[in-house]
Amino acid sequence: MLLVLLGAACADQSPPPSAPFIIVLGIAQDAGYPQAGCRRACCRAAWDDPARRRHVVSLAVVNPQTSQRWLLDASPDLPQQLHELDRVTPVSDGPGIDGIFLTHGHVGHYTGLMHLGREVMGTHGVPVHVMPRMRMFLTGSGPWSQLVALGNIDLTTMEEGTAVVLGPGLRITPFLVPHRDEYTETVGFRIDGPSRSVLYLPDIDKWERWDVAIEELLEEVDVAYLDGSFFDGEELPGRDMSQIPHPFVVDSMRRWAELPEATRARVRFLHMNHTNPLLDPDSDASRAVREAGFRVARQGERVDL
Ligand SMILES: [Zn+2]
Ligand SMILES: [Zn+2]
Ligand SMILES: [Zn+2]
């Protein structure tokens, strides 16, 4: 698989202003931030101050030359995310979605599809790129099967390691990762543009349980958006930490501490749980991440490809 993923990454030249780009539409775990029913300190400020709220994780890939826009994951916050995307890159009419790439069948990553149905936008044939089990999941039961039956979405099955070409010099390649796969398999995406490459991997089990060395991928890309669901075990008192199926940020930072500075700087954590202090840029945890040479993804940030 690595051979397929190898590409012309890490180019030195800066992309021109007309280059395709990625924009981060959300950085929170599936539940969003603040989380339903949470009255604790982690969410209190965000309930009181809407400016502190964050959308569920999703990226958009935009080609300004053709006014095309693709979504990576369809989050429950899709209405607001589409609106914010319109502000950055307006389209003349229609939903302006040229395709959606889904990572897996957990609620934060596909339920935004409901806004494409007849009760909302009633779209026509929006290409939705899925892995085989995800396809079965969507066609197997309502309300998702109705989107297919009515032609609101047009499912396209992806193959691991095989790129989907979006245009000249722009492609997206899925790769399988271990995760709690109750309904579907789980993939991450590698996005290759004319000058730069980006990794999008919001959900994965512990790094040790993957048969790919994440460090090798970090050498190949320019920016890596990686699972930062939990900062450390302190967030979940009373839970057996070995049973939490995500890499803790502190463990990831320890694992990568000896990597070159330039490699560490590519890492941007996202998919933060509501308990995660990285949601607050001024927290001690956010400072510790910066001081260790890593970064935390911020909603609205952009990477030129
Ligand atoms: Zn998730
Ligand atoms: Zn909370
Ligand atoms: Zn998940």
Tell me the pLDDT tens digit for each residue of 278-293. Answer: 999 999 999 999 999 9
- pLDDT of residue 125 exceeding 60: yes
Spacing, Cα 264 to ligand 1 middle (Å):
23
| CA of 202 relative to ligand 1 center, distance in Å | 6
Burial class for 7, CB neighbours closer than 10 Å (0-12, 13-18, 19+) = middle
Cβ atoms of residues 25 and 199 within 8 Å: no
- Of the listed ligands, the closest to the CA of 75 is 1
Give the separation between CA 91 and CA 85, rounded to whole angstroms.
9
pLDDT at 242: 73
**Would you give the DSSP letter of residue 201?**
E
Would you state the structure tokens that stand for residue 288, as one six-digit string? 């510790």
For the CA of 177, the nearest ligand: 3
Instruction: Give me the phi and psi of 203, to 5 degrees please.
Output: -130, 125
Dihedral-angle region of residue 96 (phi above 0 means left; psi in -120 to 50 means alpha; beta otherwise) = left
What ligand has the least distance to the C-alpha of 277? 2
d(CA 71, CA 266): 22
pLDDT at 7 exceeding the cut of 50: no
Cα 147 to averaged position of ligand 2 atoms, centre (Å): 33
Work out the average pLDDT over 31-43: 96
Q: Ligand 1 mean position to 73 CA, how many Å?
A: 10
Instruction: Provide the sign of the torsion angle of the four alpha carbons 191, 211, 133, 77, taken in this order.
Output: negative
Q: What is the pLDDT of residue 202?
A: 98
The pLDDT tens digits for 62-92 are 999 999 999 999 999 999 999 999 999 999 8
User: Which ligand has the nearest atom to the CA of 29?
Assistant: 1
38: CA distance to ligand 1 center in Å? 18
Q: How many angstroms separate the alpha carbon of residue 108 from the centre of ligand 1?
A: 6
Average pLDDT value for the chain: 94
Identify any residues that bridge with 248 across adjacent strands, giving them in sequence order. Answer: none
Element (H, E) at 296: strand 295-296
What mean pLDDT comes out for the span 119-146? 97
Instruction: Specify the pLDDT at position 115.
Output: 98
Amino acid type, 159: E
Give the type of residue at 272. Answer: M
Q: Which of 108, 38, 102 minimizes the C-alpha distance to 75?
A: 108
Answer whether residue 43 shows pLDDT above 80: yes
Q: Which residues pair with 224 in a beta bridge?
A: 199, 267
How far, in Å, is the centroid of ligand 3 from the Cα of 86? 27
Ligand of minimum distance to the alpha carbon of 40: 2
Q: Is 161 exposed, middle or buried (0-12, 13-18, 19+ CB in 10 A)?
A: middle
Name the band, by pLDDT with cuts 50, 70 and 90, for residue 237. confident
Going from the Cα of 32 to the center of ligand 2, the distance in angstroms, rounded, reads 10
Give 93 Cα–ligand 3 centroid separation in angstroms: 33
